[in-house]
Structure 1
Amino acid sequence: MNEKLSDIDHLVSIVMPAYNSEEYIAESMQSVFSQTYQNWELLVVDDGSTDNTADIVKDFSTRDNRVRYFYQKNSGQHIARNFAIEAANGDLIAFLDSDDIWFSDKLEISIREFDSYDQDLFFTGVYKFYHLSDLKYPSTLELMTVKDSVYKGQEALDIFVAGNRVPILATIAKRDVLLKAGGFPQIRIAEDYYLWLKLLLDGSVFRSISQPLTAYRLRENSLMSEIPNESKEVLDMFILLSEDYPELRTNYRRQIKHWIRQFIKFRLNKDNIGVLEMYFSYFNQYTVLTRFVFLFKNVLTLSSFKKLLKSVL
């Protein structure tokens, strides 16, 4: 950790998907320009914005050729991120969404830590904030808890299946490892969770420190607020992942049961009862419950059906 800043020579490719981001993207980009570590390129992939996003990014790019602007038809941030990873020149990839913020020493500390240990992916703690002025008093902000830890092997997989531990805006990873894994899957939610699990399944080593170096912006109209419970999206992600790793279905029955409980509690309605049947069938552990589905379709009310399922799950 005594390595001089001038001795660090990694080119870091910063991946930033953007969609109608005119309100905040300049703040996010400025946090990159303010880094103490300056050997970076910023790849902004405009996901079909209809506002001023393109003009703002192009203004930055005319002043600094390290900013690279790309446009795609609206396809989702997973497509945007994969495109940027492919187009990147750096050996390390970092992620920053167009409304989040990095503290000025984020890259410097992350790269020093990355070089201090044989790892494939590194991440740090994250603050949550609403307004840029909130960051003047970080001690008052809510924190995404991250531990000082190394994650590898079965123990790491057990920990990560229980919950996504990696905040993407706080992550630095080897580009070749991400490419070998195939990048992010073709799903719009929990795509980062899928990739982290796949990397661990394929033997990657993760490392984290608790120090918060980034800030995640909370917004009423953010993707997280649109989905109060992501049990369905996580179950769908796990189904996709278990196509290549079928042992997941038997090794993590308890966690699957938890997700199904959450789906029933927060997301189940008469229009998606078929989704519940599909989960029962795919995970092949609740065959008796398909009888309850029949009862629900023909006899029970939704509330009584949920109570019945709760009693047996």
Structure 2
Amino acid sequence: MKISAIIPVYNGEKFIKEAINSVLNQTKKPIELIIVDDGSTDGSEFILKDIKSETIEIKIIKTENGGQSRARNLGVNISKGDYIAFLDQDDVWYENHLEILSKPFYNCNNIGWVYSDLDECDKNGLIITKNFLSTLPIKHPKKKLADLLSNDMFILPSASLINKKAFLSVGGFDERLSGYEDDDLFLRMFRNGFDNYFIPKALSKWRIYNESTSYSYRMAKSRRIYAEKLINNFPDDYFMGRNWVRDCIAPRFYNNAISQYLLLNDMKKYNQCKEIYPDIIIYNRLLKNSIYRKTKVKIMKYPALYYLLRKIKSR
């Protein structure tokens, strides 16, 4: 079984060495490690030059900054393996990550991807939550389209092993997305009939902190693009009783936008609040006659006022 490991890097000097070492120390070795330097301006380039291995071929590609999705696609396009294992620059694989993820592929020809639970850790790599996915009300493995549209999928590329043919058959990552690109990829693979297999054991560490992509403006922009994509691709079908937008997509992104708004509001980032507010209005209207309340939306138009009201209420 030939596995290609791919790490996209952008200004990752703080964590990239630990990520790379976790690939080199695998009990089941990939045939190659492809590192795509996506236009880093920090010291990442100097760290990458010192990476060596006697058992794994290492390829380092330098490109202009085009986003994580483009960097991943570039890595896949030059890969030699039949299976792809992505690793984000600030995440870490446990040493048996590839060994365990690869096993289900031997028993089923139609598996598109295998993924596992993970441990959540802080900026310093210290554990916050063991088996993080098991603490969420999200279903695994993925069996129903409604579940994929209603909730964030929580299938992390760093916790997955992907059939390369399946990946290429759906066109890889949407390069417009720098956030939700994983949901978008696995949704398309699911829709094209590929099976998925979930291992309820943490095989990697997911580092989440306030400087990570999950909290960036780029993520908010990407969420908007992905929501529009879903709304266009899955219109309500009243005849069949499948109201994808009203019952699945709109509630999901309405709640996500509200949560992001509240976070930014508490951080007093009012300009970013104002950028998210139009999204809240749009998703709110798409809810139509759903059970969601709409009364709070009007006051959110004025983030500074909303911040003060939250402070008063908390006293």
Same fold flag (TM > 0.5): yes
Matched, 1:144 2:138: no
> Matched residues in 2 for 1:195 and 1:280: separation?
26
Q: Assess if the C-alpha contact under 8 Å between 2:25 and 2:95 holds in 1.
A: yes
Q: Which residue of 2 aligns with 1:89?
A: 80
For 1:202, the aligned partner's letter is N
Q: Assess if the C-alpha contact under 8 Å between 2:40 and 2:65 holds in 1.
A: yes
Q: Which residue of 1 aligns with 2:243?
A: 250
| Residue in structure 1 matching 2:105, options 114, 124, 141 | 114
How far did 1:206 drift?
1.0
Q: What SS does the aligned partner of 1:99 have?
A: coil
| Residue in structure 2 matching 1:259, options 253, 259, 280 | 253
Q: Which residue of 2 aligns with 1:307?
A: none
**Unmatched 5+ residue regions in structure 2?**
262-271, 290-294, 307-315
How far did 1:265 drift?
6.0
Matched, 1:14 2:13: no
User: TM-score, normalised to structure 2's length?
Assistant: 0.75
Q: Which residue of 2 aligns with 1:160?
A: 148
Q: What SS does the aligned partner of 1:79 have?
A: helix
Identity %: 24
Matched, 1:211 2:201: yes
Matched, 1:35 2:26: yes
User: TM-score, normalised to structure 1's length?
Assistant: 0.76
* RMSD across aligned positions (CA): 3.6
Q: Which residue of 1 aligns with 2:311?
A: none
Q: Which residue of 2 aligns with 1:239?
A: 228
> Matched residues in 2 for 1:106 and 1:261: separation?
33
How far did 1:176 drift?
1.1
- Number of equivalences: 280
Q: Which residue of 1 aligns with 2:292?
A: none
Map 1:75-86 onto structure 2 (within 5 A).
75-86=66-77
| Residue in structure 2 matching 1:200, options 190, 203, 209 | 190
Measured against aligned partners, the alpha-carbon deviations of 1:174-226 in whole angstroms (never above 9, x if no partner) come to 11111111111112221111111121122221110111111112333112244
> Matched residues in 1 for 2:104 and 2:18: separation?
26
Q: Which residue of 1 aligns with 2:180?
A: 190
How far did 1:98 drift?
1.2
For 1:125, the aligned partner's letter is D
> Matched residues in 2 for 1:273 and 1:101: separation?
35
| Residue in structure 2 matching 1:67, options 58, 66, 91 | 58
Q: Which residue of 1 aligns with 2:121?
A: 129
| 1:71–1:121 CA distance, 2 compared to 1 (3 A) | same
Of Structure 1 and Structure 2, the greater helix share is in 1
| Residue in structure 2 matching 1:179, options 164, 168, 184 | 168
Matched, 1:48 2:39: yes
Q: Assess if the C-alpha contact under 8 Å between 1:47 and 1:77 holds in 2.
A: yes
How far did 1:24 drift?
1.4
| 1:243–1:212 CA distance, 2 compared to 1 (3 A) | same
Q: What SS does the aligned partner of 2:168 have?
A: helix
> Matched residues in 2 for 1:29 and 1:271: separation?
37
Measured against aligned partners, the alpha-carbon deviations of 1:122-152 in whole angstroms (never above 9, x if no partner) come to 0001011236774xxx7x7443215995434
